[in-house]
């Protein structure tokens, strides 16, 4: 008996060593992707696409090897503890999906996505969808092939969605988006009919912003981007970002990536909108603080990796919306902002709170959307990419269908492809099925925040005083430290005492915007 236990232990340790090799290859891919979007020279794509393709192939070969299959068979009925069982469960799921996909297809998808990034970037800069259309068509075809290999009898979009959220199910995403559409559309209409005008402290004249000088070019615009970067670092300091394990850079589309030892954030700056850069930075901080909260001792194993994108997005949306867009936060942070931008000296915390939560009638950009209309942006993307993957929408028709849906759901129509279907980077990565997790994450953020307040008491005073340790610790204890120990819904139940539900989010936005707009 002791011999059998020792044998199982040895098998598990050999299995875990292979798992760590796969994870480290993935981490290297992540760093190369970060470099491509942040620092790589413009002409570096031919080499980078081959590098990423080679790493994708290596990871795929390790995951689908006969050796891995044998480990999983040997551990099927082994006497493992809960953590070890979770590691085997997560790896088995990935192994079973990966073994159905040919290595050549994995390489082709990776190389095409790497080459797609500069093409998408050029198309957006030139406002010309036709530049990106052939690449998008190829990516759609490749991802259809990928989904068909994994499960030829399933809805291909569902297969792709499960790459990002394997446990809640596409039906939960559809039900959640339908509920948000039903609840938020009338709320947005009520807001637009309200007579309340919220404050606009950032709409200062160019002359004011440049200290009275008519020549604003030398000042960098209304809100100088270099000064905005200093302010972004201020907000990360305020929230408790670990600079020893992270860094801040700029990217065309803000993102966060890394491990618990190296979690990096990016943002972007608009001279007319310092608030956008701040909320973007806080959003990416939420992702990074989740990554940094994963247990060091389980690095490169599922127990040291995040629980998929619904939970990841819940962390970014919690920090961005429930903290960064709250009145107590601006009571704390506005003086710091006024030191950087004296033209805001007359603004009050209430002014900035209102500006941060204004429901915009003419905003076309998802990442600049308010908490209410944001989800209609997600619905548009969800419906467009479902039709693309199903073969019910031709790539060449995407701009027109996209614009029609914006008109239907948001009452506005893009004038350009750049502010329409080219605004997001996701499709250039081949990331179809990703977008619903943004709404799922927003919903979960409200559920987790309410659970934290149930345990800790009202958080407003702590936020007002800049004391974020209790919230950090609660999230680490109830979410971060578990890695992939639990499936998504089990993790939600462990953290909140109930299954995933949109009730908390609907209550939160109804109360918040009812107060703001006197509904």
Instruction: Please state the rounded mean pLDDT for residues 123-132.
Output: 96
212 pLDDT more than 80: no
How far, in Å, CA of 483 to CA of 146, rounded?
A: 27
Tokens of 57: 């192939």
CA contacts within 13 A on the Cβ side of 259: 21
165 pLDDT more than 70: yes
Instruction: Answer left, alpha or beta for residue 412, where phi above 0 means left and psi between -120 and 50 means alpha.
Output: beta
93-102, 199-208, 303-312, 418-427, range with the lowest pLDDT: 199-208
Tokens of 250: 């700029």
147 pLDDT more than 60: yes
**CA dihedral angle for residue 510, residue 511, residue 515, residue 519, rounded to 10 degrees:** 40
Tell me the three state secondary structure of residue 149.
Answer: helix
164 close to 433: Cβ distance less than 8 angstroms: yes
How far, in Å, CA of 290 to CA of 18, rounded?
A: 25
Q: What is the pLDDT of residue 216?
A: 35
The model's pLDDT over 298-322, given as tens digits with 9 standing for 90+, comes to 999 999 999 999 999 999 999 999 9
7 pLDDT more than 90: no
The model's pLDDT over 462-472, given as tens digits with 9 standing for 90+, comes to 999 999 999 99
Q: What share of the chain is helix, strand, coil (3-state, %, to 5)?
A: 70, 5, 30
Architecture, CATH, for domain 170-516: Orthogonal Bundle (1.10)
Per the prediction, the chain carries an average pLDDT of 94
Tell me, what DSSP letter sits at residue 485? S
Is residue 284 annotated as part of the catalytic site, yes or no? yes
Is pLDDT larger for residue 206 or for residue 479?
479
CA contacts within 13 A on the Cβ side of 169: 5
| φ/ψ of residue 60, rounded to 5 | -65, -45
Instruction: Please state the rounded mean pLDDT for residues 377-385.
Output: 97
117-131, 192-206, 431-445, range with the lowest pLDDT: 192-206
Instruction: Please state the rounded mean pLDDT for residues 428-452.
Output: 97
Q: How confident is residue 96, by pLDDT bands cut at 50, 70 and 90? A: very high
Continuous segment of H or E residues that includes residue 19:
helix 2-38
Closest CA to 161 of 405, 492, 357, 382: 382
Q: What is the pLDDT of residue 5?
A: 63
| φ/ψ of residue 263, rounded to 5 | -115, 110
280 pLDDT more than 80: yes
In terms of C-beta density within 10 A (0-12 exposed, 13-18 middle, 19 or more buried), how is residue 402 classed?
Answer: buried
Catalytic residue among 108, 284, 305, 331: 284
Closest CA to 219 of 232, 208, 233: 208
The model's pLDDT over 491-501, given as tens digits with 9 standing for 90+, comes to 999 999 999 99
Helical spans, DSSP H, in 194-264 = 206-209, 225-239
Give the predicted TM-score (pTM) of the model. 0.93
Tell me, what DSSP letter sits at residue 301? S
Q: What is the pLDDT of residue 4?
A: 63
* Alpha carbon 77 to chain centroid, angstroms: 37
| φ/ψ of residue 258, rounded to 5 | 135, -160
116-120, 314-318, 459-463, range with the lowest pLDDT: 116-120
**CA dihedral angle for residue 476, residue 478, residue 483, residue 484, rounded to 10 degrees:** -170
Within 10 angstroms of residue 279's Cβ, the number of other Cβ atoms is 22
How far, in Å, CA of 219 to CA of 213, rounded?
A: 9
Q: What is the pLDDT of residue 217?
A: 30
> What would the DSSP string read from start to end of 311-357?
HHHHHHHIIIIIITTSHHHHHHHHHHHHHH-GGGTT--HHHHHHHHT
How far, in Å, CA of 274 to CA of 268, rounded?
A: 10
Q: How confident is residue 164, by pLDDT bands cut at 50, 70 and 90? A: very high
How far, in Å, CA of 238 to CA of 249, rounded?
A: 18
Percent of the chain with pLDDT strictly greater than 90: 92
Tell me the three state secondary structure of residue 288.
Answer: helix
Q: Locate the domains of the chain by residue range.
A: 2-129, 170-516
64 pLDDT more than 90: yes
Q: What is the pLDDT of residue 219?
A: 32
Instruction: Please state the rounded mean pLDDT for residues 198-207.
Output: 74
Q: How confident is residue 1, by pLDDT bands cut at 50, 70 and 90? A: low
Tell me, what DSSP letter sits at residue 497? S
How far, in Å, CA of 249 to CA of 229, rounded?
A: 9
443 pLDDT more than 70: yes
Q: At what angle do helices 327-340 and 349-356 cross, to 10 degrees?
A: 110
């Amino acid at each position: 008996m002791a011999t059998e236990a020792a044998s199982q232990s040895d098998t598990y340790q050999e299995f875990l060593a292979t798992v760590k090799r796969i994870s480290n290859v993935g981490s290297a891919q992540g760093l190369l992707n970060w470099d491509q979007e942040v620092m790589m020279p413009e002409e570096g794509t031919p080499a980078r696409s081959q590098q990423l393709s080679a790493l994708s192939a290596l990871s795929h070969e390790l995951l689908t090897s006969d050796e891995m299959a044998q480990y999983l068979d040997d551990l099927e009925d082994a006497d493992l503890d809960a953590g070890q069982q979770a590691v085997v469960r997560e790896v088995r799921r990935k192994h079973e999906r990966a073994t159905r996909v040919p290595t050549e297809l994995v390489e082709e998808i990776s190389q095409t996505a790497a080459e797609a990034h500069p093409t998408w970037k050029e198309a957006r800069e030139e406002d010309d969808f036709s530049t990106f259309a052939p690449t998008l068509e190829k990516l759609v075809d490749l991802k259809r092939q990928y989904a068909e290999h994994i499960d030829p009898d399933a809805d291909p979009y569902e297969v792709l969605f499960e790459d990002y959220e394997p446990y809640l199910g596409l039906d939960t995403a559809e039900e959640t988006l339908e509920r948000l559409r039903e609840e938020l559309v009338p709320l947005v209409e009520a807001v637009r009919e309200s007579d309340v005008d919220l404050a606009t402290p950032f709409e200062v004249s160019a002359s004011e912003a440049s200290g009275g000088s008519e020549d604003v070019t030398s000042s960098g615009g209304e809100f100088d981007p270099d000064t905005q970067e200093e302010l972004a670092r201020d907000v990360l300091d305020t929230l408790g970002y670990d600079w020893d394990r992270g860094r801040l850079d700029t990217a065309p589309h803000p993102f966060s990536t890394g491990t618990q030892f190296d979690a990096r954030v990016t943002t972007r700056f608009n001279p007319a909108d310092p608030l956008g850069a701040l909320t973007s930075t806080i959003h990416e901080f939420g992702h990074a603080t989740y990554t940094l909260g994963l247990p060091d001792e389980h690095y490169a194993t599922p127990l040291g990796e995040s629980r998929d994108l619904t939970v990841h997005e819940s962390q970014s949306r919690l920090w961005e919306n429930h903290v960064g867009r709250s009145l107590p936060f601006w009571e704390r942070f506005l003086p710091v902002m006024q030191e950087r931008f004296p033209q805001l000296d007359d603004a009050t915390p209430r002014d900035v709170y209102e500006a941060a939560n204004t429901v915009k009638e003419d905003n076309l950009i998802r990442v600049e959307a308010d908490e209410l209309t944001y989800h209609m942006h997600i619905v548009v993307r969800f419906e467009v990419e479902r039709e693309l993957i199903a073969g019910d929408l031709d790539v060449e028709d995407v701009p027109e269908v996209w614009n029609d849906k914006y008109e239907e759901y948001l009452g506005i129509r893009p004038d350009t492809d750049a502010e329409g279907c080219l605004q997001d980077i996701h499709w250039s990565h081949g990331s179809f099925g990703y977008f619903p997790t943004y709404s799922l994450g927003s919903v979960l953020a409200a559920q987790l925040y309410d659970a934290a307040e149930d345990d800790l008491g009202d958080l407003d005073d702590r936020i007002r005083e800049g004391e974020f340790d209790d919230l950090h610790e609660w999230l680490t204890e109830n979410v971060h430290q578990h890695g992939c120990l639990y499936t998504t819904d089990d993790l939600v139940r462990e953290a909140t005492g109930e299954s995933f539900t949109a009730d908390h989010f609907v209550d939160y936005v109804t109360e918040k915007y009812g107060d703001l707009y006197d509904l």
